[in-house]
Amino acid sequence: MLYALSDLPQFSTVRGRQTVVRNALGGYEITGDVTKRLRFLDWEGGAIEVADALIQLFDGYEPAPGIPALGLIAQAIEPLVGPPHDTKLADMRGRLGWGADPRPAPAETWRDQRPPAAVVRERIIGENTLRPIYYLHKALRAADAVVRVEVPGAGSGTGFLVAPDLLMTNHHVIADAEQARLAEVSFFYELDIDKRERPPRIVGTTPEPLLFTDQDLDLTLIRLADPPQLPHYLPIRPVRLEQDQRVAIIQLPGGFLKKISMQNNFVAHADDRLVQYYTSTQAGSSGSPVFDDDFAVVAIHHRAVHDQDWDGGGRLHPPSAQPSDPKQLEELQWRNQGTSMIAIRDKLQAQAPELLAKMTILD
């Protein structure tokens, strides 16, 4: 397994090594001492040294009961390596019980010109998109804390509860004390499992609801009057994201029923202030929580951004080679953007620590 891992073309760069490990482990949470050791791993060493360090780190470790981390890595990299590594990995998996391969599919099931022998086992194709079912449960639990925010005469946006009566949204959704007093907040404005509209719960705000607003960060915090008691309020996670991580957004696009965007949702850029991503949004999604895979809030969405090097006809200045796929052209020109929870935490820590103290903050 050592040489199979170190010989991977993807293992030639630091980013590739981290992506291999992230894809292999899927949605499993890494906990305990392994988390600390992984954080201080020297990713920039030689390929075989890094592979050896990872194998030692994960040897015997199970991110979930009965799920060996090395088994997940072996399953993930086996389709990516050639002989003799693939055969050795398959033999090792068979001996250790790390997943069973199906028999080859018959030729008549293959629908293109490639040989049927290519279909010999299940495989991860591209990114590992397998997630534990708890991912869906976390999404549903988080959704109850995401609400429609309407300011009469000013339009609607989205907001979310970070404490029992503490609502976070954008400054451009609620800009001042008057708008905060007029705001109406609708809980449970969504369809249920039978595609029937749930009865919404509409609440207002307290007499002096505006607690904090910042135009630069596009952030507002207000206090609600008599909101429903929820079993869960959204924690924030002030960490710098990495390119190609995934971020989901629960939102009320157009001011209509609540939706979630969790496909084509890669991070394009992130620093301590801004996060840019390809996750879909629409007008009315301003103020939505941007979630990591644990459904902790890593940013608050506020707008789309356009590459200034593009003109209205979809041409780069200066001209350069461009893909012909319209979707690729669109993604090269546009990103959605939010304010990182790092910047929000730092600003609240300096100017409103009493509000920050009410929130659950995750590492």
pLDDT recorded at residue 310: 61
What span, in angstroms and rounded, lies between the C-alpha atoms of 90 and 83?
A: 11
**Closest C-alpha among 65, 63, 84 to residue 1:** 84
The neighbour count for residue 254, using CB atoms within 10 Å, is 12
Check residue 215 and give its pLDDT.
Answer: 96
> What are 179-182's contacts with CB under 8 Å, separation 24+?
179/151, 179/154, 180/205, 180/209, 180/210, 180/220, 180/222, 181/205, 181/207, 181/209, 181/210, 182/151, 182/152, 182/153
pLDDT at 112: 53
Q: Where are the alpha helices (DSSP H) in 164-305?
A: 177-182
Specify the pLDDT at position 234.
98
pLDDT tens for each residue of the chain, 363 residues long = 888 888 888 888 888 888 888 877 766 778 888 888 888 889 998 999 999 999 999 988 888 777 788 888 887 787 777 788 877 877 777 677 665 454 444 555 445 555 655 555 556 666 777 788 999 999 999 999 999 999 998 889 999 999 999 999 999 999 999 999 999 999 999 999 999 999 999 999 999 999 999 999 999 999 999 999 999 999 999 999 999 899 999 999 988 899 999 988 999 999 999 999 999 998 889 999 999 999 999 999 999 887 766 655 555 554 554 555 555 555 567 889 999 999 999 999 999 999 999 999 998
Helices 32-39 + 47-58 axis angle, to 10: 170
Instruction: Tell me which residue of 143, 144, 135, 146 sits closest to 294, measured CA to CA.
Output: 135
Q: Read out DSSP for 76-110?
A: HHGGG--TTHHHHHHHHHHHHT---PPPPPPGGG-
Per-residue pLDDT of 100-130, as tens digits, reads 454 444 555 445 555 655 555 556 666 777 7
Q: Which amino acid is at 326?
A: P
Q: What is the pLDDT of residues 49-82, one digit of tens each?
A: 999 999 999 988 888 777 788 888 887 787 777 7
Backbone angles phi, psi at 35, to 5 degrees: -60, -45
Element (H, E) at 22: helix 14-25
Phi, psi angles (nearest 5°) of residue 339: -85, 130
Contact 173, 220 (CB under 8 A): yes
Name beta bridge partners: 213.
220
CA angle 55, 59, 64 (to 5 degrees): 120
Q: In terms of DSSP H, where are the helices of 263-340? A: 326-333
- What angle is formed at CA 285 by the lines to CA 256 and CA 186, rounded to 5 degrees? 50
Closest C-alpha among 154, 193, 194 to residue 172: 154
Domains of the chain: 2-118 (no CATH), 132-363 (2.40.10.120)
pTM of the model: 0.72
pLDDT at residue number 223 = 98
End-to-end Cα separation, the chain, in angstroms: 32
